[in-house]
A and B are shown apart, each in its own frame.
Chain A
Amino acid sequence: MKEEVSPFLPLSPATLHILLSLAGEEMHGYAIMQEVQRQSEGKYKLGPGTLYDNLQKLMDRGLVAELGRRTGDDDPRRRYYKLSSLGRGVLTAEIARLEDVVREGKLRLQAKPRRA
């Protein structure tokens, strides 16, 4: 059964970056923060408060799932998170939406302004 993704769109910048980080692999919170910083080339820094506030919302909505702790990890306090199938669908739809925005923007910026 395919769930409707349009109610989740558009995504906020923080949500978009978190979902993008988890699209590749399962991660713990600190790794998500570092990945967001890497994706944005250091322009967007996510603090733990913002991260976990967003993760809480994403888990409650079923976009992200918690995997719990891992044995043998450097820090036993870490918990891992992964993107759910619904989260992947929402991210795919958001990327498609952004592609449309970029295409439309390029078209408009290239077109010469009309005289009144």
Chain B
Amino acid sequence: MLRYLYRFVVRAHPGSFRRRFGDEMLSIFDQSEGKLSHASLLLDGVLSLFRQWALRPDLEQESAPSTVAGEVHFYKFEKDKLRGAALVYGALLSALVLNGVCWTNGLRLEPSYLYGVATASDRSAAGVEFATKFSWRR
């Protein structure tokens, strides 16, 4: 379950980063042992996901080829365009994965806490309060 989530998080990284380091990140995940270790790697992956989408605005630029002794070892031809909704997508994905991690570890967070969704009783109470205020003003 955690590996599936981690692979999902790795795949959600920007294309250039994923192609360059995705396999290695999964390799490290496979080498580490223990549920706690896997959970911390997953959290690190989610933070990395946020960092790559939100704090690396130059990610769509072509990276300089890595060279050793004058030889080009890595180069790619396709471009990674930053989509307009990338930040929203990243934030939503991070929230979903975080909720998934908490849920698998028995610390399920209430959706109303995460997203601020009011319950039916909250809404009805707010409606009564609003109606009372409105009638008082008239």
Query: Which residues 1-50 of A sit at the B interface, judged by CB distance below 8 A?
Result: 28-30, 33, 47-50
The listed residue (A48, A62, A66) touching B25 by CB distance below 8 A is A48
Q: B55's closest neighbor in chain A, by CB?
A: A53
Q: Are B27 and A53 in contact (CB under 8 A)?
A: no
How far in angstroms is the closest Cβ of chain A from B102?
Answer: 18
Chain B residue total in the interface (Cβ 8 A): 30
How far in angstroms is the closest Cβ of chain A from B11?
Answer: 14
Q: A47's closest neighbor in chain B, by CB?
A: B44
With A65-B67, A67-B68: A49-B26 Cβ-Cβ less than 8 Å: no
18 contacts across the A-B interface (CB closer than 8 A): A29-B28, A30-B31, A48-B21, A48-B44, A49-B44, A49-B47, A50-B44, A50-B48, A52-B24, A52-B25, A53-B56, A56-B17, A56-B20, A68-B73, A75-B27, A75-B30, A77-B23, A77-B26
Binding site for A on B (CB under 8 A): 17, 20-21, 23-31, 40-41, 43-45, 47-49, 51-52, 56, 63-64, 66-68, 73-74
Q: Are B73 and A48 in contact (CB under 8 A)?
A: no
Q: Are B29 and A48 in contact (CB under 8 A)?
A: yes
Does A79 touch B at the CB level, under 8 Å?
yes
Among A33, A49, A55, A75: residue with most chain B CB under 10 A: A49
Known: A29-B25, A56-B21. 13 other contacts (CB 8 A): A28-B24, A30-B27, A47-B45, A48-B28, A48-B29, A48-B41, A48-B44, A49-B25, A49-B45, A59-B64, A65-B67, A65-B68, A67-B73
Q: Are B64 and A60 in contact (CB under 8 A)?
A: yes
Does A78 touch B at the CB level, under 8 Å?
yes
Q: Are A77 and B27 in contact (CB under 8 A)?
A: yes
How far in angstroms is the closest Cβ of chain A from B83?
Answer: 20
Q: B67's closest neighbor in chain A, by CB?
A: A65
Residues on A with beta carbons closer than 8 Å to the beta carbon of B23: 77
With A50-B44, A53-B48: A66-B66 Cβ-Cβ less than 8 Å: yes
Bound-complex Cα distance A53 to B25 (A): 11
Q: Are B24 and A79 in contact (CB under 8 A)?
A: yes
How far in angstroms is the closest Cβ of chain B from A25?
Answer: 15
Q: Are B68 and A48 in contact (CB under 8 A)?
A: no
